[in-house]
């Protein structure tokens, strides 16, 4: 859903401990100063992760929060959480895009899918901000997991580098090239993606976006936003 119709908070079930349970997908919720401090609880079953979110908003600004929000053609790659804080006076927005994973760095496919999810969500927040005639000041990418395996990412880079060197040697028989690809579940064009990922960045539409990995304790992680700034 593009932000034409913003639902009220009554569409979300409230828990006893003052957290709103996020149980709707692809729906944006508007957050204003009328609610003062709002708390949301988001659970991702596949990743077995719980994200606790707190929002505080200034009197003249508003926030747009949603889970698995996407454009119609991109819904299979939506991230678990996006938040756009719109500064009314300056007509600018700070956008946060976050996904929950069980582990990161133990498989190339997980990294590939995560990067695609971020790209899809960048397109989404751009479309929402364009709808409101708001300029994006900055986009923050992140991932929350129980383990972020940098050594695993580095190992994938080495394996892909060796495989591509073998593939590029014309004297190497085709069956050996295919074996090298099969041994690491070779994905064409993935080496530069892995190299950038190791540097904690992605390339999308000729622009570099940096990301932050967060490690949860016991499958639970908290984020607090005050006037659009992650504390």
**Does 176 map to a domain?**
no
Band (12; pLDDT cuts 50, 70, 90):
low
Domains held by the chain: number: 1
**Does 182 map to a domain?**
no
Q: Is the pLDDT of residue 10 over 70?
A: no
Residue 58 CA to residue 228 CA, distance in Å, equals 9
Q: Is the pLDDT of residue 2 over 50?
A: no
Band (15; pLDDT cuts 50, 70, 90):
low
**Start-to-end C-alpha separation, the chain:** 28
Q: Which domain holds residue 99?
A: 9-148+200-230
**Does 179 map to a domain?**
no
Q: Which residues pair with 208 in a beta bridge?
A: 203
**Does 100 map to a domain?**
yes
Residue 134 CA to residue 63 CA, distance in Å, equals 13
DSSP state of 216: -
Instruction: Answer yes or no: are the C-beta atoms of 63 and 88 closer than 8 Å.
Output: no
Q: Residue 87: enclosing H or E segment and its boundaries?
A: strand 81-87
Band (38; pLDDT cuts 50, 70, 90):
confident
Residue 195 CA to residue 176 CA, distance in Å, equals 24
**Does 178 map to a domain?**
no
Q: What is the pLDDT of residues 194-230, one digit of tens each?
A: 999 999 999 999 999 999 999 998 889 999 999 999 9
């Amino acid at each position: 859903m593009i932000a034409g119709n913003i639902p009220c908070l009554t569409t979300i079930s409230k828990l006893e401990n003052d957290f709103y349970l996020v149980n709707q997908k692809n729906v944006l919720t508007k957050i204003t100063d009328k609610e003062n401090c709002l708390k949301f609880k988001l659970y991702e079953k596949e990743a077995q992760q719980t994200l606790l979110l707190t929002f505080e908003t200034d009197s003249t600004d508003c926030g747009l929060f949603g889970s698995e929000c996407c454009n119609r053609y991109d819904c299979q790659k939506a991230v678990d959480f996006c938040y756009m804080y719109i500064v009314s006076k300056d007509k600018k927005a700070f956008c946060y895009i976050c996904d929950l994973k069980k582990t990161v760095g133990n498989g190339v496919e997980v990294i590939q899918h995560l990067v695609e999810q971020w790209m899809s969500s960048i397109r989404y927040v751009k479309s929402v901000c364009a709808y409101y005639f708001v300029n994006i000041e900055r986009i923050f990418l992140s991932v929350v997991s129980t383990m972020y395996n940098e050594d695993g990412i580095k190992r994938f880079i080495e394996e892909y580098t060796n495989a591509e060197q073998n593939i590029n040697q014309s004297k190497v028989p085709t069956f050996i090239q295919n074996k090298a690809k099969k041994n690491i579940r070779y994905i064409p064009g993935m080496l530069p993606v892995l190299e950038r990922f190791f540097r904690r960045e992605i390339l999308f539409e000729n622009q570099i976006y940096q990301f932050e990995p967060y490690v949860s304790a016991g499958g639970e992680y908290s984020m607090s936003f005050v006037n659009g700034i992650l504390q």
